[in-house]
Structure formats: structure tokens, C-alpha cells
Chains A and B, each alone.
Chain A
């Protein structure tokens, strides 16, 4: 079990913030959307640090997952809240951990049901090995190389990250 302290995680967030800052264009501001729940936790920190004017969008991807017929509905995390139109906008999609890529695929499918963005940038706190789809993050806080039976977890309260064996 590896633990990353809140100082280390803050360091990653600062790095992400810098990269996002250089992305910002005055006449075409990006609209940030976090994927519930970890992506919203990360998104809130970035949203505040960047002083974004529009509210943070929050996506519940439960209904877009690809494993419905095998495992049924995942725990409910409340309705999606996308208070700003995505039509023609540059979207920054935020998640805590990128592993297989299926969550991001589901999120993108959902975003496109809201409208047609001009561009989507993917920002993740941690990118780990285990890609199953051709999806990569544009902005990464930290990368880890771990075996399949281990998982990365963000602890939102303390803003620490742990890497340990998968819990069944």
C-alpha cells in the first residue's frame, strides 16, 4: 500500500492548474465538467484555483456505462448538472483516476447528448496503467505503473491518494 500525502497531491493539482492556465483563451473560455464523484472533488479544487466564472458541471455517468447487462445499475450519485450549454464550447473534462478509459467514454457519450462541444480536453489527477480503450489524458497530475489487481483511490476529505490491492 502506497500513500501520497496531501502535500504531494496538492503539488499535482498545482501542476494541472498551470497546464490549464496555459490552455485558457480569453475569448473562448473553457467550461469545466467533473465526473462524479472523484472528478468533481478534483474539479472543485481546480475550479476555485483558476477562479472560473461559470459553475462547475457535474456528470453522473451511471446510465452511460457499458456494463449494465452484467452488473446492473451502479450506486446512484444524483442527477447530472450541466448548467451551461456545451454547444460549440471547449470542455475540460475532469476525473480523479484514468484506468480503462470506459468512464471517460461514457462521459463523452453523455456530453454529446447535451450538445456538440467544439473540443474536449481530458484532465486527470492520476493516470494508471490498464488502458482498454484508445483514450489518453491531455493533462495529468501524476502517472503510476501498477498491476491489474491494484487500484488507485482518491480520499476526498483529506485529498490524499492511496494505491493498494483491489477491494472486491
Chain B
């Protein structure tokens, strides 16, 4: 399994970071432990480490996202890497040919790593299969498929605030069907051994086969929240829905909104998470988003350390691959 997974190179080291699927518990834990080491970077007067000095990281964002792009940019800079922000949103790329052409041009700019964000599922995987062997690819979110760095920063947040996964009941609320954050998050929670994972949302926004992912589906949010340790909201994504799958945002809030009353059903020390940006009054009430149990802002901070960890782990084996390349040349 490990051998054929495109994320691993011929030396069985993690070379790309494309999805949580295919990664075992030890690998995920290693990423979390490494991220711990990076949390103190901010304490220094010089807020970076020289690990990726002289390396170039290119942000290939085919889909808009200031938040994620900035987070990757900051993580790369904290590792002393040079960063190229390449805006491909304006150029309409047909799947396949044009993407490859774009890649060849970018490779000639001598980037060492690509962070890819694309509206097509499978885009990051496609790019990883077509880049030169020494280049590392990080999936910054592809279609409705995966957002692995978000999942890892969510796991880091949970571990930091709530401890061991085996003891935790995690509830994920909202548009599971269209959420790559939910998919990657569920995969990570299952691999890390969370005690119980509950998903709740309108049936129209719930994938038909969701229970096969290792979760329990709830129709009633009040029942789902009983004794929850972690409550994860998801953004109601208007741009993902091609048809009217909910009556109105008001109706959604009434049935599935996270209010202080609903939060009282969860454990008193439960944490509230959200990948952002939050739609106050749609999936979450402002007082909950900004309340004492919310760790939403901390998620953003941890995201820097987690992305630094991912980038350093995958880039740390370049020499082996370069030597192999040269001996074959």
C-alpha cells in the first residue's frame, strides 16, 4: 500500500503531501510532533529557521483563497524559503494539456516545491505525477476531494486542547458533501483513532455513502451534540452548490446553527472549531464563534507550524533523489 502511494518516493520517504488517505497513524503523528517543534518560532526575535534557505516555493493557486495562500506563504517564509505567488485564477485552464504547459514553464523557473490549490478534484495528484522527481507537491485543496493541511492543523488543535484522540467524541456539522475539509478531517480522525465521529447536516448536503468513511450520521443536531468533546463547524459554501439544496440560510441556522443553547449539550470543556471564514448567523452564532470555547483563531496560528512541518518533512530527502537522478543521467 505504502509502496504504490504516489506520496512516497522510491526510498519510501514522504515526498508529496496530497491527501490523508494512504498515510498511516505513525506518519500523521510524526507531522503533529514535528509541528510542536515549530510552535516556538514566534518566541524568537528572528521569527524563522534556516531549514529551507535557498529553496523556492511556488504557490500555484488556480482557485481564489487569500487565507490559505497567505498561510502557506508565511510558513515558507518562516522556513527561510523564497516564495513565488502565481495567480492562475484569471487564466482559464482546460484540464490536462494546459496544466502541463503551465507546469513546464514553472519548472523552468526552478521552483523546488509547488503548493497547489485547484477547483478540480485530483489536480494536485495530477501535478505530482508530472513534475520532475526532485520537486515536492503540497495539496492546498483540490475540488471536493481533499485539504490535507487543514486536516492536520485541525488534528493539531484537537490534540493540543483535548489530548488523546481515543477519548474524544468529535461532531462535524454542515455541508459534508461538498467539503474537502470534512473529508480529510474524517480520514485523519479515523486514522488517529478518535473514539467517535458524528456528522450532522441536511440530507441534501450529506454524501450517500458517508457512513462507510467510519462516521455515524445524525439527523438531529441536539442529539449529535450530547457529550461532544470537539464541535467542528463547516462553512456553508454557496459556490459549491449548483442547485438549491437548502431552503434558506435562515432555515439552515434554525436547524443546524451552533448557538450557545446547543453548545450547552456538549461537554462543558468542549472546543469549537471552524476552518474559516465563518458565516455568523448561518452556521454559527457570533457569540459561539467568539466565545471562550472557540479555538478558531488558534487554528489559524497552529496552521503555520503545521504547514512548516509538512514542508520540511517532504523536502528533507531531496539529496537522495538528486543523487539517484544524477547517477541515472
Contact = CB atoms under 8 A, between A and B. Distances in A.
B316 A73 contact: yes
B247 interface: no
A95 B48 CA distance: 23
B43 to A, nearest CB: 7
Interface stretch (A44-52, A64-72, A143-151, A157-165): A64-72
Given A72-B13, A82-B43, A115-B45, A64 B50 contact: yes
Given A79-B36, A79-B39, A109 B313 contact: no
A77 interface: yes
Contacts of A113: 44-46, 48-49
B40 interface: yes
B268 interface: no
A26 interface: no
B97 to A, nearest CB: 34
A73 B46 CA distance: 21
Nearest to B317: A72
Interface in B232-258: none
Interface string A84-113: 000100000000000000000000010011
A126 to B, nearest CB: 26
A71 B30 CA distance: 16
Given A73-B34, A73-B312, A81 B318 contact: no
Contacts of A25: none
Given A63-B49, A72-B316, A78 B36 contact: yes
How many interface residues does chain B have, given as a range?
A: 20 to 34
A127 interface: no
Nearest to A115: B45
Given A64-B49, A69-B319, A72-B313, A77 B37 contact: yes
Given A82-B43, A113-B45, A114-B45, A76 B50 contact: no
A26 to B, nearest CB: 27
B37 A60 contact: yes
Contacts of A62: 37
Contacts of A80: 40, 43
A127 to B, nearest CB: 26
Contacts of B44: 82, 113-114
B313 to A, nearest CB: 6
9 contacts: A63-B49, A63-B50, A63-B312, A68-B316, A76-B36, A78-B37, A81-B40, A82-B43, A114-B43
Interface of A: 60, 62-64, 68-73, 76-82, 87, 109, 112-115
